[in-house]
Amino acid sequence: MNQPLVLDGLKVADDVKAKLQVRVHNLKEKEITPCLATVLVGDDPSSATYVKMKGNACEKLGIQSKRIHLPSETTTEELIQCIQELNSDSLVDGILLQHPVPAHIDERAAFEAISIEKDVDGVTSFGYGQLAFGFGKYPCCTPAAIMAILDYYDLPMEGKHAVVVGRSPILGKPVSVMLLNRDATVTTCHSKTQNLADLVSQADIVVAAVGKPNFIQGAWIKAGAVILDAGYNPGNIGDVDYEACYTKASAITPVPGGVGPVTISMLLKHTVDSAELRAKK
């Protein structure tokens, strides 16, 4: 078997960002600066790092980053009020509430408070419903990244059997509906799935979204399958046993350098999409 194509997320992200740069420039000529508001609650160091990375990525591209940091003691009501103020701020194009918020906060209620027009991270149930019906504007960023990688490398989805391992609201479920909307035949697996190895071995496209290091085994992979590893576990380890799956796949994303870098570029893209809609008003 030939060596598989290694799906380079950095290359895909650079391509997305180069196109965005032109669009940001055009918006600035109309005196509009796209703006992403990030809301961080509490002092979780990983969350602080993720928010900082997203803010820095915005600024590099000329997108304004409005960073809001609320104390750990913030109540659900106070967080919702903050989100509502951002909803009403005509200069804010997108709102990202960093997950997870402290346990005493009703995170779902806070996500649902984000207006659909500014839900650039695709976290509201309204946004998910629109996505499932096939007309959502802003899908969750990691599923959008997976689709962007498939499209960049011109890997067909139509008629293919896609097996998604994981069904979380931010990853497994939305990527399943996105693949379905692109005419793949989709099997979504989860912790209660029986015969997981058998199901994965039937897949033309495997999406790993499990949160368990090296979980997807080489022996499960059909020769020539396309493998997308959304997993990101401590020590930069994906959900796919890369070495073992590499020998079977026709194309595979590495970790790091696969899905991760494209995810942030999707957030930037959705913010610019939203700013362009503001420019048309």
Query: Do the beta carbons of residue 243 and residue 3 sit within 8 Å?
Result: no
Q: Catalytic one among 8, 93, 119, 121?
A: 121
Q: Least Å distance between CB 191 and ligand NAP?
A: 3
Quick one: 6 or 279, whose CB is closer to ligand NAP?
A: 6
Quick one: 81 or 191, whose CB is closer to ligand NAP?
A: 191
Structural tokens at position 89 = 């701020």
To 5 degrees, how large is the angle CA 120–CA 36–CA 177?
Answer: 10
Nearest residue relative to ligand NAP (C-beta)? 168
CB neighbours of residue 169 within 10 Å: 14
Rounded to whole angstroms, how far apart are CA atoms 29 and 101? 37
Quick one: 61 or 144, whose CB is closer to ligand NAP?
A: 144
Quick one: 65 or 188, whose CB is closer to ligand NAP?
A: 188
Q: Least Å distance between CB 188 and ligand NAP?
A: 9
Handedness of CA 100, 227, 269, 108 (dihedral sign): negative
Query: Do the beta carbons of residue 54 and residue 96 sit within 8 Å?
Result: yes
Say whether 54 is catalytic. Answer: yes
User: Exposed, middle or buried, 32 (CB in 10 Å: 0-12/13-18/19+)?
Assistant: middle
Question: Edge-to-edge strands of the sheet including 5-6?
Answer: 5-6, 251-252, 226-229, 205-208, 161-165, 185-189
Q: Catalytic one among 17, 98, 239, 269?
A: 98
Q: Single out the residue of 248, 226, 61 nearest to residue 151, CA to CA.
A: 226
Q: Least Å distance between CB 263 and ligand NAP?
A: 3
Quick one: 193 or 250, whose CB is closer to ligand NAP?
A: 193
Say whether 121 is catalytic. Answer: yes
Q: Least Å distance between CB 118 and ligand NAP?
A: 20
Q: Which residues bind ligand NAP (CB under 6 A)?
A: 142, 165-168, 170-172, 189-193, 196, 209-212, 230-233, 239, 259-260, 263
Q: Catalytic one among 8, 17, 54, 204?
A: 54
Q: Least Å distance between CB 234 and ligand NAP?
A: 9
Active site residues: 54, 98, 121
